[in-house]
Amino acid sequence: MPTTATPDVRFELPALPFERHSLEPALSRAQIDLLYSHYHRQQLTTLNAALAADDPRSLATLAAEGPAQLRPAAVQAWGMTLFWHGLAARPAAPEAVLKARLAHDFGDWERFESTWRERVVASAPGGFSWLGLASDETLTLRETPAGDMPSGIKPLLAIALCEEAYRIDFGDDRSAYFTALWSRLNWETVTLLLDL
């Protein structure tokens, strides 16, 4: 009986670092399912359809310097992976050294939170809002449209700005979306990436 060979898949949907229901009530399982199982998977499917299975380039390389026709999907897939790893099932405050550094670079902790909220709310849908480390070693925020990597920073956390990230739970209320995410940001990821 003949079988149909399945072509090798170059990039697979990464496992979530938490159970899909574990972000409730901040984010519903339905919201996670839409963003993860539909949107994130769609970006990887687009890449896999265009790449040879033996293409050695990493997702990060394709996002940073891949061909123009592949870069948008690579950036979205890479950013979504950082987004997922930037969320935690159990809320936890940042360690004192990280909180002090954020307070120093943004004026104070509350100003950091309000500034990031304002930027998320004011950004056009699509792309990401990034917390990153600038070349001068300060922590900074950047927003990018869909398909663009942030320039001049090492990304530490990403907040997805595509409508698939918030429309089920929050409609168009990105301030409420930010509040929900703020309570679930994984500050341990930032500490590890900064090597504090």
Q: What residues of the chain score a pLDDT lower than 50?
A: 1-7
17 is a domain residue: no
Give me the domain span that covers residue 108.
27-196
Number of domains in the chain: 1
- pLDDT for position 91: 87
41-60 residue pLDDT tens: 999 999 999 998 888 999 99
146 is a domain residue: yes
8 is a domain residue: no
- pLDDT for position 1: 40
- pLDDT for position 148: 94
37 is a domain residue: yes
- pLDDT for position 167: 97
- pLDDT for position 52: 86
70 is a domain residue: yes
- Tell whether pTM > 0.85: yes
182: buried, middle or exposed (CB in 10 Å: 19+, 13-18, 0-12)? Answer: middle
CATH number, domain with residue 46: 3.55.40.20
13 is a domain residue: no
Q: Which residue from 72, 86, 64 is spatially nearest to 17, judged by alpha carbons? A: 86
92 is a domain residue: yes
- pLDDT for position 115: 98
1 is a domain residue: no
- Give me the residue label for tokens 């990105």: 174
Q: Give the count of alpha carbons within 13 A of 168, CB side only.
A: 13
